[in-house]
Amino acid sequence: MFHEKNSFLNYNVSCILTLPPYQRQGYGRLLIDFSYLLTRVEKKIGSPEKPLSDLGLISYRSYWKDVLLQYLCNFGGKELSVKDISKEMAIDSYDIVSTLQALGMMKYWKGKHIILKKQDVIDDYKERVKRRGPVYKEIDPECLKWNPFQPPKTPTTSN
């Protein structure tokens, strides 16, 4: 995985490679989750470098779908905005909107995106999680000992 130090396009990762013998074991998802953990620590919002490969797109869409549905399951407030979700999860708003649209949970009305909290979609997700159990490899954020890259300050010239 190559984490972007300084990206003007808010890319948080430029390349994830899982070698064939290790595919379908959760390592790609672990690296995706790790890239977003680093992005949250940096207090930034990120997205993978585009275009994504076919497998990359499948992996990211699956990741976004799961984390957004988990977020919605745990959300207790009344008002929900894409901007707030984006800030809290460090996921680019375009990726959130496209995922919610794919789930049928986003509507464009009077010039605004409206999030529809469809209970049937959330209940299906909860049931899937209950059946599958905790299968994903996870990184404990408390164990991360890392300081974000700080670009060197440019010297000021005094005349």
Dump pLDDT digits (tens) for 3-22. Answer: 555 555 677 887 888 899 98
Q: How far apart are the first and last CA of the chain?
A: 45
Dump pLDDT digits (tens) for 58-76. Answer: 999 999 999 999 999 888 7
Rounded CA separation 37/58 (Å): 20
Dump pLDDT digits (tens) for 95-143. Answer: 999 999 999 999 888 888 789 888 899 999 999 988 887 667 888 889 9
| Residue numbers annotated as active site | 49
Which domains does the chain carry? 2-133 (1.10.10.10)
In 4-118, DSSP assigns E strands to 11-15, 47-48, 106-109, 112-115
